Amino acid sequence: MPKGYMYILECSDGSYYTGSTKYLAKRFMQHARGEGANHTKKRLPVKLVYVEEYDRIDTAFYREKQVQGWSRKKKEALITGMPERLHELAKCINETHYSNK
């Protein structure tokens, strides 16, 4: 039985919220009732769009922090089940990057 979850919610304004918890159903209901994080309570209703299960809550928390730092496009590739795009979307594309010279 999983002991931790990393999840992504889509908020009413189209933004994404990434979190982790031991009790997914309970935590989702807290968000849905406006008792969750400030980000979600101001953007109700929310929809659960992605979940990963882990054997340990600390692993889920680590994954949450990793995904929180991702771009919107990278999160959407994960949500839509296109993991092959993650590496491509992780590339630096600004003009100062060495591969763009």
- Compute CA 47 distance to the chain's CA centroid, rounded to the nearest angstrom: 12
Any idea what the CATH number is for the domain that residue 49 is in? 3.40.1440.10
Number of structural domains (the chain) is 2
* Judgement on whether residues 61 and 12 belong to the same structural domain of the protein: yes
* Judgement on whether residues 76 and 29 belong to the same structural domain of the protein: no
The Cβ of residue 19 has, within 10 Å, a number of other Cβ atoms equal to 22
pTM (two decimals): 0.84
* Judgement on whether residues 33 and 50 belong to the same structural domain of the protein: yes
Burial 59-97 (b: 16+ CB within 10 A, else e): bbbebbeebeebeeebbbbbeeeeeeeeeebeeeeeeee
State the 10-residue block means of pLDDT for the chain, 101 residues long.
Answer: 92 97 96 93 96 96 96 94 74 55 47
- Tell me the two tokens of residue 87: 């590496």
- Domain extent, residue 59, equals 1-69
Residue 84: predicted pLDDT: 74
Residue 58: predicted pLDDT: 96
* Judgement on whether residues 43 and 54 belong to the same structural domain of the protein: yes
* Judgement on whether residues 56 and 77 belong to the same structural domain of the protein: no
* Judgement on whether residues 49 and 62 belong to the same structural domain of the protein: yes
